[in-house]
Amino acid sequence: MTIAERSEQIYRDTILALLSDEENARVSTAEAAREMAAGSEYLDLNHLELGLQRVAAVTVVDMGHVLPRDAVSGDTWGRILNHLKS
């Protein structure tokens, strides 16, 4: 693992650490889903550099790497977005 890859992993782990146990469970459940509704907001944990994304009707989303906005509370989502800005 390169230094850059390790840094990205630490960054993802820091974001996931902001989630409560209940939110972690909802994210895990969301990973089992096959799709997200059009207009849903999410973060791709493998491509955080892309920032906040929104599902379009034609968007293919790999749910195994997604943090859907509706899986976490508004407060947690705000903390995550603040963390991304820093």
* 46-82 confidence digits (pLDDT tens): 888 899 999 988 777 778 888 999 999 999 999 999 9
Task: Please give the distance of CA 42 from its chain centroid, rounded to a whole number.
Answer: 6
Structural domain count, the chain: 1
Domain range for 58:
3-85
Q: Which pLDDT value is given to residue 34? A: 67
Could you tell me the pLDDT band of residue 19, with boundaries at 50, 70 and 90?
very high
Q: Which pLDDT value is given to residue 46? A: 87
Q: Does an H or E element contain 31, and which?
A: helix 21-32
pLDDT at 22 over 90: yes
pLDDT, tens digit (0-9, with 9 covering 90-100), for 23-49: 988 888 777 776 788 899 999 988 888
Instruction: Report the alpha-carbon distance of residue 55 to residue 60 in Å, rounded.
Output: 8
Rounded to two decimals, the pTM is: 0.79
